[in-house]
Amino acid sequence: MSRGETPLVRDVPDEEDYTYVHRVFLQSFFTHGVLTIDEIKPVLAAIMTAHNPDRPFPEGDVTQSGFITPIIQTINAKLEPYDFEIRHARNQQTKETTYALVNKTSDSMTQLATRFTANEIAYIRRLLDAMFETNNTPTREIMAIKPMDASQLARPRRNRQSQAASMVDEDVQLQAADTGITIGEADAVLDALLADNFLQLSRSKYYSLAPRALMELHSYLKETYNETAEDEDDEPMIRIRDCEGCREIVTFGIRCNNRECGVRWHDRCANQYYSGRSAEGKKCPKCRTVCGGNVYVGERADRVPQRNSSGGGASRDEQMDEDEDEDE
Ligand SMILES: [Zn+2]
Ligand SMILES: [Zn+2]
């Protein structure tokens, strides 16, 4: 805590000083849970201006690295003993940076259990299974679901077997008690998850996990849907992989044109890696296959025929030329 002096006004607050600005900014996270960088800019500008009305603080001065990051570092130092942290991640689809207040000791699944009934939680598990098992096969890594299919999961399929080995026992127990919910109840759960920034709905109408859910659930997802090798002959099923560039989880992006290869990228990370190379020079860093950037992870994998994944320039250009930075 600062020593009761007036907080800094025009300058970036000193990292040691926890001021009015940090306090009010943290409160906006308690209210909203999740804020995109475009939502943060007016909030911080307003806080700075409220503190010193004679000198309005322009939104343009709220830059990510120069302004927001140091403020969040100071807040995180304060939150440390409470096991909370403000984290940020880039939305893989919109490329927008999203900040979320996350609990470091309990993931979203645990927290959802305090807000939904047991049958609703069982529904949310079926939703995740549909996204990460049914709609996520070696040839079609969609990791998303259409709203109508999501509603249809309201009733459990009685003898359905979860392929996730670690969950078999637990699933059997849950299924015994799980009588399902109505489609109306399923839609209400979906709406609540959307409002909570746990799910997002894309322009082409697919539900996928929003940045907040990915920030909180990445270990849960890997533990649940990735297998570990039991013996040497066993090729474990890896359903969820990290980006070759930034090492964050990929649920929307591109994959190596060699189907056997585990390399995955976010569009932007692939762009950065391959920028300036000729088409033949765009070789996978692991298997050296020439990659067209036209084999997708995420909802685009549901639309594109994936029989022959080599070649193809047009779709790559469409996907691989957006590269903007928000720190300007
Ligand atoms: Zn990446
Ligand atoms: Zn490869």
Does residue 145 belong to any structural domain of this protein? yes
Residues 200 and 264 in one domain: no
Residue 208 sits at φ, ψ, to 5 deg, of: -145, 170
Residue 297 sits at φ, ψ, to 5 deg, of: -115, 140
Ligand nearest to the CA of 260: 2
Residues 192 and 116 in one domain: yes
Does residue 187 belong to any structural domain of this protein? yes
Ligand nearest to the CA of 273: 1
Residues 114 and 75 in one domain: no
Residues 219 and 125 in one domain: yes
Residue where a domain terminates, one of 207, 225, 243: 225
Number of structural domains the chain divides into: 3
Residues 216 and 116 in one domain: yes
Residue where a domain terminates, one of 185, 209, 225: 225
What domain range includes position 264? 253-320
Residues 52 and 156 in one domain: no
Per residue in 86-104, pLDDT (tens digit) is: 999 999 999 999 999 988 8
pLDDT at residue number 168 = 54
Residues 152 and 209 in one domain: yes
Cβ neighbours around 232 below 10 Å, total: 6
Residues 177 and 216 in one domain: yes
CATH number, domain of 185, equals 1.10.10.10
Kind plus residue range of the DSSP H or E element containing 201: strand 199-201
pLDDT at residue number 8 = 45
Kind plus residue range of the DSSP H or E element containing 174: helix 168-177
pLDDT averaged per 10 residues in sequence order, the chain, 328 residues: 44 65 94 92 94 91 92 95 93 93 84 90 96 96 97 81 51 65 97 94 96 90 90 85 95 96 96 92 96 95 62 41 40
Residues 202 and 269 in one domain: no
Distance (angstroms) between ligand 1 centre and the Cα of 295 equals 16
Instruction: Name the DSSP class of 207.
Output: E
Does residue 240 belong to any structural domain of this protein? no
> Does residue 311 come out as left (phi exceeding 0), alpha (psi in the -120 to 50 range) or beta?
left
Contacts of 247 (CB under 8 A, 6+ apart): none
The two three-digit tokens of residue 251, written as one number: 């649920």
Ligand nearest to the CA of 291: 2
Residues 187 and 293 in one domain: no
Residues 170 and 117 in one domain: yes
Does residue 101 belong to any structural domain of this protein? no
Residue where a domain terminates, one of 82, 99, 129: 82
Contacts of 216-224 spanning 24+ positions with Cβ under 8 A: 216/100, 216/102, 216/103, 216/107, 216/108, 217/107, 217/108, 217/109, 218/248, 218/249, 219/107, 220/107, 220/108, 220/109, 221/128, 221/132, 221/249, 223/166, 224/128, 224/132, 224/164, 224/166, 224/167
Task: State which residues have CB under 5 angstroms from ligand 1, the bound ion.
Answer: 243, 245-246, 266, 269
Cβ density class 247-266: b for 16+ within 10 Å, e for less: ebbbbbbbbbbbeebebbbb
pLDDT at residue number 176 = 58
Distance (angstroms) between ligand 2 centre and the Cα of 95 equals 24
Distance CA 298, CA 296 (A): 6
Distance (angstroms) between ligand 1 centre and the Cα of 114 equals 32
Among 132, 117, 304, smallest CA distance to 208 is for 132
Residues 117 and 210 in one domain: yes
Does residue 51 belong to any structural domain of this protein? yes
Does residue 61 belong to any structural domain of this protein? yes
Distance (angstroms) between ligand 1 centre and the Cα of 169 equals 34
Does residue 292 belong to any structural domain of this protein? yes
pLDDT at residue number 234 = 77
Distance (angstroms) between ligand 2 centre and the Cα of 286 equals 5
Does residue 1 belong to any structural domain of this protein? no
